[in-house]
Homo-oligomer: A and B are copies of this chain.
Amino acid sequence: MYAGEAHSLEVEEILYEGKSDYQEVLVFQSSSYGKVLVLDGIVQLTEKDECAYQEMIAHLPLCSIPSPKAVLVVGGGDGGVLREISRHTSVETIDICEIDKMVIDVSKKFFPELSIGFEDSRVHLHVGDGMLSLLTPILLDIVSGAFNAQFSTAVEFLQRTPAGKYDAIIVDSSDPVGPALELVEKPFFETIARALRPGGVLCNMAESMWLHTHLIEDMISICRETFKGSVHYAWASVPTYPSGVIGFVLCSTEGPGVDFLNPVNPIEEVDGAGNHKRELRFYNSEMHRAAFALPNFLKREVSLLRGATVPFLVRGELM
């Protein structure tokens, strides 16, 4: 995942090894982080710290708008994001578009605290069949297998979706890296923006501020072109991700203004706890506000790349 550095977890027992149509799937019991899910060699989640990622990627967008009703998840086959969305009593429909059925099956077998998210009756699962025809042959060459399929399935699903259907879309999926980024993500984000109602919100996983400032810059740039409401960057501590943090890009479409920095729909008031009755382990309204505070180096590096030199910008506002 990153040169010159390694993070190792002690393996007590390999619990599952398989190869789906899209990726290699591995589950092992670690000695200090509980069970671990690995896809194509990259740690996706551990039982010990999955709470930080799943709670933040779900509640940062859903607590920023009043009474979300229709929510779409792209990726997220482990079910953890569904578990978190189901806390919101206002939500009526949760669509999930996951390419890889093996991820879902493995989660149901080994990660019941995550896959319980699928048991909510509001959840509608759409397992893609890889309608790759929507991507040009050039793109097919550039992007890697699993992302490619995930992406094309989501695009295909979204193009059949009525415009303005969703209050919130959560993209829980890894990103392509390198020259493909702009080619691939621009049409993807445009498709997402179309599927959101005016003033609807997107939360997209967005790398590490310590390792990937250039990727963050690119993603923010594309999102600013596509989403005419607001674009913010937030981050959370997740020990088993590279450099111990993960970021999120939060965007809103033109329409009723969204103030991501101050949750209008605070979790402390709306948590119906789904059908799992698990207490929140990481997220609360203070953590929500704090997630948008950015270190100077990130503001400076991202700003300088476009010629700005102001050292202190509005918090969370990178542009």
Q: How far is the CA of A48 from the CA of B3 in the complex (A)?
A: 14
Chain B residues in 8 Å Cβ range of A49: 210
Q: Which residues of A176-235 have CB atoms within 8 Å of chain B's CB atoms?
A: 210, 235
Binds B, one of A146-154, A162-170, A293-301: A293-301
Known: A237-B245, A289-B290, A293-B289. A33 touches B5 (CB 8 A): yes
Binds B, one of A78-86, A110-118, A278-286: A278-286
Interchain nearest-CB distance for A32 vs B (Å): 3
Whether A268 pairs with B3 at a CB distance below 8 angstroms is: no
Q: How far is the CA of A20 from the CA of B169 in the complex (A)?
A: 57
Chain B residues in 8 Å Cβ range of A239: 210, 243-245
Interchain nearest-CB distance for A241 vs B (Å): 8
Binds B, one of A6-14, A88-96, A131-139, A251-259: A6-14
Interchain nearest-CB distance for A269 vs B (Å): 11
Whether A279 pairs with B296 at a CB distance below 8 angstroms is: yes
A-side interface mostly = loop
Q: Which residues of A287-311 have CB atoms within 8 Å of chain B's CB atoms?
A: 287, 289-297, 300, 311
Q: Is A315 an interface residue (CB 8 A)?
A: yes
Q: Is A161 an interface residue (CB 8 A)?
A: no
Q: How far is the CA of A205 from the CA of B4 in the complex (A)?
A: 28
Copies of this chain in its oligomeric complex: 2
Chain B residues in 8 Å Cβ range of A291: 290
Chain B residues in 8 Å Cβ range of A297: 51, 281-282
Q: Is A44 an interface residue (CB 8 A)?
A: no
Known: A10-B4, A32-B5. A287 touches B295 (CB 8 A): yes
Whether B8 pairs with A30 at a CB distance below 8 angstroms is: no
Whether A294 pairs with B300 at a CB distance below 8 angstroms is: no
Whether B296 pairs with A283 at a CB distance below 8 angstroms is: yes
Chain B residues in 8 Å Cβ range of A244: 237-239, 243-245
Whether A282 pairs with B311 at a CB distance below 8 angstroms is: no
Chain B residues in 8 Å Cβ range of A295: 52, 237, 281-284, 287
Whether B293 pairs with A286 at a CB distance below 8 angstroms is: yes
Known: A4-B10, A296-B281, A297-B282. A268 touches B312 (CB 8 A): yes
Q: Which residues of A46-75 have CB atoms within 8 Å of chain B's CB atoms?
A: 48-49, 51-52
Chain B residues in 8 Å Cβ range of A48: 210
Q: Give the residue of B4, B8, B268, B300 whose beta carbon is less than 8 angstroms from that of A9.
A: B4
Could you give 21 example pairs across A and B, Cβ below 8 Å?
Answer: A2-B32, A3-B32, A4-B10, A4-B30, A5-B7, A5-B9, A5-B32, A7-B8, A210-B237, A210-B239, A237-B245, A268-B312, A280-B311, A281-B296, A281-B300, A284-B293, A284-B296, A286-B292, A286-B294, A287-B293, A287-B294
